[in-house]
Every structure is written in structure tokens, then in C-alpha cells.
Structure 1
Amino acid sequence: MAGEKNVGLVLLSSSMSPFGQRCSIALAEKGLPHEYVEEDLAAKSDLLLRSNPIYKQIPVLLHDGRTVIESLIILQYLDEAFPSTRPLLPADPYERARARFWADYVDKKLYGCASRLYMVKEEPQTPAKVEMAEVLKTLEGELGGKEFFGGEQGFGFVDAALMPFATWFESFDRYWGVGVAEVAPKLAAWGARCMEKESVSKSVCSPKEVYDFIGQTRKNLGIE
């Protein structure tokens, strides 16, 4: 463990990025000290452009100078590169596959739908709003009666992948009328439980910061 923790880790990210936040959560859960570098996405650094020349996006994890990109890949890499730290993925191959599926679902469905909602001007129900309600219900169904998506393992891979978006829940309601507490109350309660964890609360933005960020983004897009 001591040898592993001395290996240099650098996270290039942006404080408002839910994808970067999930990496910060994972590093905190594993107790891995690292350097954090805040990136200005309007003026990307040479380090970021060199480290991720294909996508030119954050987050990027540097491990002894070697580059790992894409947030879910970073989470899996941390499990494999630091096996003596607390695992995020289950030990069972089938359960690992299920965890990867649901983390991918978060990115494709929840984030994909939220991105489309950015563009909504009208107040009436839109396809994206209806879809978001269904996505939230589906995630609640997978959570079921468990405290965390990791089940007996506790806070795990899917929790880390989804939790940064829980700070968006308030904005879903205020901007688009998708009340998570009404649509998926167990999921809302799960988000509140996660925020009680120091690894989470110190890694994510507040709901107000998210609300203000979305509002500014909509203004920049000419929607408001």
C-alpha cells in the first residue's frame, strides 16, 4: 500500500465537470493522494492538449506521466492499478459487468437527456422531459431497497459514476419541472446519503453552483 501511494497521480479536470468529479470521488474513496490541476476549458492548457490529443477533453489522469482518459476508464484503471485500495467494482465478473452497464447507462441516458434539456425553451412537456422522468425511475428501480448501488459492498462504481449528477436534481425541477423527489424519491434519498460522505461532499459542486452554471450556459446559448 505504501509503495502504491507514493506513485505520482495528477488529475486534470474542471470543477464543474461531473465526469471529473467522479474521478475525484474515486481517488478520495481509495485514499490516493494526487495533484489536482484546474483546466480552463475556454483556454485549454498545453498539458491537456498533449495528454489528450484525440478528444482534447477533461478529465485526464496522469500516472507517473502516463495518460489515462475517459472518466469511467479512469475509475476502472484505479481499481486495477491500485489493487490494495478499497475496490469500486465488485469482485464477481457478472456483477462487475452489471456495474459497468449501469455506469454507461448514466452517461448515455441521464447525461444525454440532460444535455438535450439544455436546449429546451418551452414550458410544456417535451420528449426530453418525459424521457428524463423515465430514466430516473429506471435508475431507482436498479437501486431498489439498497443503501447504495454497490449493494453489500457499499458505495461503489455506479455510485461514483452517478453521484455528481445528483447535484443536478434540484435544477431538473427548477428549470424543467422534473421533480426527482416526486418521480424517484428513493433515488433522491440516495443522493442525500451520498452527500454525507466526505469523499463526495468535497468532490462535487453544490446544487446552487450547478443551477447558476446551467443558467449561464443557457444564456450563452441564447436560450434565456
Structure 2
Amino acid sequence: MALELFAHPLSSYCWKVLIALYENDTPFAYRQIGPDQTENGAALAAAWPLGKFPVLLDDARPVLESSIIIEHLQQRHPGAVRFIPADPDAALRVRLLDRLFDNHVMGQMQRVVNDALRPPERRDVIEVAEARAALDRAYAWLDPQLAGCTWAAGDFSLADCAAAPALFYADWVHAIDPAHAHLRAYRARLLARPSVARAVDEARPYRALFPLGAPDRD
């Protein structure tokens, strides 16, 4: 089956899917979205009128939303890495952490980024303060959850695919307190994993697009 992924190298949700593809060496065509790839933008709009990416085409059938795409890959294009455990309780834990990293880390980080993209006169210091406080609460909850763990929920899983881009960018936007040693060590392990490192490296040429300024690290 022919797989095509509509994505951009800087996008956190695109990283999430790319990491899963790279983990199992799943062959796919990378249809990058950008001003120089207008044909890919048109094809994306035809596949998904909301125009959000990533979108996976599997033999021309659109598969939408990053978590669903990864579950689809496991069902239809399985590899050595299983992203959702077979055990139902373990699977619930993975899905819980996936939602937490997407909604309470990446989502809060995105609130700060979105504010930076607005004209100065429309920026909202209360919105940004609330998002930063929410990140602090998420970091504090996650830190003890990761004590004694290599990966978020046992073996490398969907939860880690979500965690890698979420923690990568969140730490740029609102640094993880050094007191959260377990969380900081987990982020470092994620960035050292080959699939994640590949996504990070592919995004390096686009770091100037990050609206808050990419820090000189990672």
C-alpha cells in the first residue's frame, strides 16, 4: 500500500507521526506543506477541507489526526514497535498520557506561541500567564510519574511519540524547572532516540520560523 504524509518538518503534531513512521522504518512519500509546494497544499485541501496537517493518505484514503494516524499505522502497517499495547489496561495508560501530552503540554505551549504570532496590540498577558501556569502544573504532575521509567508507559509507545515534540517545544517556551529531574531526564532520553533525533534534525533549517526565537540548544 502506498503511504503519503502531508506534513511540515517544524510542526509538532507532524513530528509525532514522523517519529512513529521512523521507528518502524515504514516507507512513505513525504508531501511537505509550504509556499514552494503549492501542489501539496492543494492535494491536502482536497483530502481534508479543514486544511490541518498531518494527514496520511493510505492508497488515497485520508487518515486524520495524529493519534489516529499512529493507531492506523499499527493496524495496517505494523512493525517491530507496537504503539498501543495489547493489554487493555496498559493501552488505557498509553492513551491517557498521549492525551495529556497533547492537551496539557503541547496545547498550553501553543497558547503562548499563538499569542506571539498576534500583532503586539492584540497580545494577551493574562492568556500567556495562564498557559505558563498550566505548564507548571503539568510538569509537576508528570515528574513523579516518570520516576524509575525509561519511557512514559513501559515500552516506547504512542505516549512517547506525543511526548517528544510536546516537551521539546514546551521547554523552549516555558523551561522545565531543574527540580523536575525525572521529566528533564526523560526529555533528554527522547531527544537521543534516533527517530526523534531525525525529526529534530529535519526541522533545524526552519527554526527561524519559530515565533519566540529558537534557543541556541537542542
TM-score normalised by structure 1 residue count:
0.79
> Aligned pair 1:47/2:43, yes or no?
yes
SS at match of 1:98: helix
RMSD of aligned Cα (Å): 2.7
SS at match of 2:183: helix
Alpha-carbon deviations, 1:163-205, whole Å to 9, x = none? 0123214422xxxxx4314252211111111222211111135
Which residue does the alignment assign to 2:118?
Answer: none
Please tell me whether the aligned partners of residues 30 and 87 of structure 1 are also in contact (alpha carbons under 8 angstroms).
no
- Structure with greater contact order relative to length (CA < 8 Å, sep ≥ 6): 2
Please tell me whether the aligned partners of residues 12 and 36 of structure 1 are also in contact (alpha carbons under 8 angstroms).
yes
Q: 2: distance between equivalents of 1:51 and 1:96?
A: 30
Which residue does the alignment assign to 1:150?
Answer: 153
Which residue does the alignment assign to 1:32?
Answer: 26
Matches for 1:158-177 after TM superposition, within 5 Å: 158-172=159-173
Which residue does the alignment assign to 1:213?
Answer: 210
Equivalent pairs: percent with the same residue?
Answer: 25
Q: 2: distance between equivalents of 1:95 and 1:85?
A: 18
Q: 2: distance between equivalents of 1:208 and 1:61?
A: 23
Please tell me whether the aligned partners of residues 99 and 158 of structure 1 are also in contact (alpha carbons under 8 angstroms).
yes
Which residue does the alignment assign to 2:15?
Answer: 21
Q: How many residues align?
A: 202
Point out where structure 2 has 5 or more consecutive residues left out of the alignment: 116-122, 214-218
Which residue does the alignment assign to 1:79?
Answer: 74
Which residue does the alignment assign to 1:220?
Answer: none
SS at match of 1:15: coil
SS at match of 1:31: coil
Alpha-carbon deviations, 1:21-65, whole Å to 9, x = none? 111100011121111111027967210001112x21100111111
Point out where structure 1 has 5 or more consecutive residues left out of the alignment: 1-6, 173-177, 217-224
